[in-house]
Structure 1
């Protein structure tokens, strides 16, 4: 883990994100409890300690079986069935099923919201700092699988330099060529037909693995199955080893001091990055009203 930044204000957080983070694609995750407080960076399924006693094969079979059961129940609850196991697992994650996916976002303010929305307390009742984590390892992207599956681009035939075909052009209409015996033309292949017989479009293309067969961590941008995912700029990290924490070299930590939480919550609300916007449903409206009226004693 890189040396953590310690943030005491909303402006300081913005400056840190803008000026202090390494170059390249970044993903953010806000946690009300930092790693130092025992909340490790691992998927939800990895937090069930009793599963550790199972073998790798048993855990793999369990994940697949759970997804199968969940997928069977999707039929009566969604308008569009998922096309792949990736989409099905994303829906499961969205609805609270423990999976090997971790929630991240491309929006640093969304991550800040999740870090400060609720101030946690330690065993003695004292408020604790929260944290925003930045994924800096640049994991493999799900879209890269599809890039590898694209068929090779074939050069366009140059009619000016191609040898003239012995096919007259009438054969596709069932009329023999004028200068050939019946049947001669039927045994002659045009260049396009020969190419099609030589190889099919997807021949040799690598198969996209299911989430349980990945060989490294993979960033997955799921389809917007709900307004929440769109509003939160959600991305998912499929973890190769869901029962182990992310390696220290994969992330850096931005500590958000607990005494700055109240002011940061107010600033986020002013900038439209709060309950009502990030949860565009009745739950979000209720959470926003609870904050405005009962938690911050503000005005509507």
Structure 2
């Protein structure tokens, strides 16, 4: 059963903010119910936060010095990454995806086309607080941010996206709203997580504040239900070993079995 909270009103009687969760998801069955209720052909992407209060901001925006030195951060990463790679990225976007998935602060925000992967990240750790599962309508976001753009934006093919690259975004030009785009799945983690992205230009306003949050919905994941949901997801094959395809997480998964 889907547990709705307020549905339009806060405790003060004012209108519920669009960024407030629509209700609670307490089990995988609840999530399936939400997905059935929204239905329709419009694609949706998913992102899970273990803390319900976290905003939809890319990691780069979490520290002023990172924003100021974004280009240098990426150059240092490139300088030292080559000896550690079997195959080097072939484009600037591929470098950015690689850096993102190894923890370098970037202007990208990860999403997944798989709702169970989004739910996994919302429950990945207890964290002492409720989690949150975000739903994004990428086509709706792009229609508002870039009217007339292709229905599906692909990094490396739709060239106007290149204005969002770190060096280009620093040049004098009008600030663009964030957009949603897919990438060729050339890295294991993007494949494993059915990964997609939103990308910011020069403004790092939380995505839930962009276009008044009208391209987003979310549901709270109660702290008390996280462990149960993790067990459900494990039975469905959604585990750390599955979403992080590296030897470190494989070892952790095997260790936790005993």
For the superposition of Structure 1 and Structure 2, which TM-score range results when normalised by the shorter chain? 0.7 to 0.9
**Alpha-carbon distance between aligned partners in 1 of 2:179 and 2:87, rounded to the nearest angstrom:** 24
**Alpha-carbon distance between aligned partners in 2 of 1:254 and 1:232, rounded to the nearest angstrom:** 20
Partner of residue 256, structure 1: 221
Q: State yes or no: 1:63 paired with 2:64.
A: no
**Alpha-carbon distance between aligned partners in 2 of 1:217 and 1:283, rounded to the nearest angstrom:** 33
Give secondary structure in 1 for the equivalent of 2:116.
helix
Q: State yes or no: 1:143 paired with 2:116.
A: no
Structure with greater Cα Rg: 1
Question: CA offset at residue 4 of structure 1?
Answer: 1.3
Give secondary structure in 1 for the equivalent of 2:78.
helix
Q: Which has the higher contact order (CA 8 A, sep 6+)?
A: 1
TM-score (norm 1): 0.65
Count of residues paired in the alignment:
219
Q: Decide whether the 8 Å contact of 1:218 with 1:239 is kept in 2.
A: yes
Partner of residue 155, structure 1: none
Q: State yes or no: 1:209 paired with 2:170.
A: no
Q: Decide whether the 8 Å contact of 2:48 with 2:134 is kept in 1.
A: yes
Q: State yes or no: 1:288 paired with 2:236.
A: no
Partner of residue 115, structure 2: 108
Runs of 4 or more off by more than 4 Å in structure 1?
Answer: none
Unpaired runs of at least 5, structure 2: 1-17, 143-151, 170-175
Question: CA offset at residue 137 of structure 1?
Answer: 5.0
Indicate the RMSD between aligned Cα atoms, in angstroms. Answer: 2.6
Superposition pairs for residues 188-199 of structure 1, below 5 Å? none
Partner of residue 160, structure 1: none
Question: CA offset at residue 239 of structure 1?
Answer: 1.3
**Alpha-carbon distance between aligned partners in 2 of 1:254 and 1:76, rounded to the nearest angstrom:** 43
**Alpha-carbon distance between aligned partners in 2 of 1:145 and 1:280, rounded to the nearest angstrom:** 24
Superposition pairs for residues 1-300 of structure 1, below 5 Å? 1=18, 4-20=22-38, 24-35=42-53, 39-48=54-63, 50-51=64-65, 59=67, 62-121=69-128, 128-138=129-139, 139-140=141-142, 141-143=152-154, 146=157, 208-212=162-166, 213=168, 215-241=176-202, 243-246=204-207, 247=209, 248-293=213-258
Question: CA offset at residue 117 of structure 1?
Answer: 1.8
